Amino acid sequence: MKAGDLDQRVTVERYTSTEDELGQPIQSWAPLFTCWAAVEPLTGREYLAAQAAQSEVTARVTMRYRPGITAQDRVIHDGTTYNIVSVIDVRSERKELILMVKG
């Protein structure tokens, strides 16, 4: 992975539950981190192949490895919110993550 390929800012958020001063639960999305990534819409054959496994996969987000990201998190890119469908640790090397996402 070349650093120049990671030219777009994304924010990864996690759904959290906290309590207000009265003890009532407050559930919201909280940012985990913001980083540089490559966001590529899936087109043509890639989209059809991804559609066989996940019917609504619409993009691929490539970033440097970060531990703890799960399919329960979400990605914000350029004002668009994407739900994470799958998290792929490329070659299990803990260097690069590919997030398959749907908008």
pLDDT band for position 57 (cuts 50, 70, 90): low
For the chain, report the end-to-end CA distance as a whole number of angstroms: 25
| Average pLDDT, integer, range 31-50 | 79
**Domains of the chain by residue range:** 3-102
| Average pLDDT, integer, range 47-71 | 77
User: In this predicted model, which residue has the larger pLDDT, 10 or 92?
Assistant: 10
DSSP assignment string, the chain: --GGG--EEEEEEEEEEEE-TTS-EEEEEEEEEEEEEEEEE--HHHHHHHHHH-TT--EEEEEE--TT--TTSEEEETTEEEEEEEEEEGGG-SSEEEEEEE-
User: Is the pLDDT confidence value at 50 over 70?
Assistant: no
Query: What's the topology of domain 3-102?
Result: Thrombin, subunit H (2.40.10)
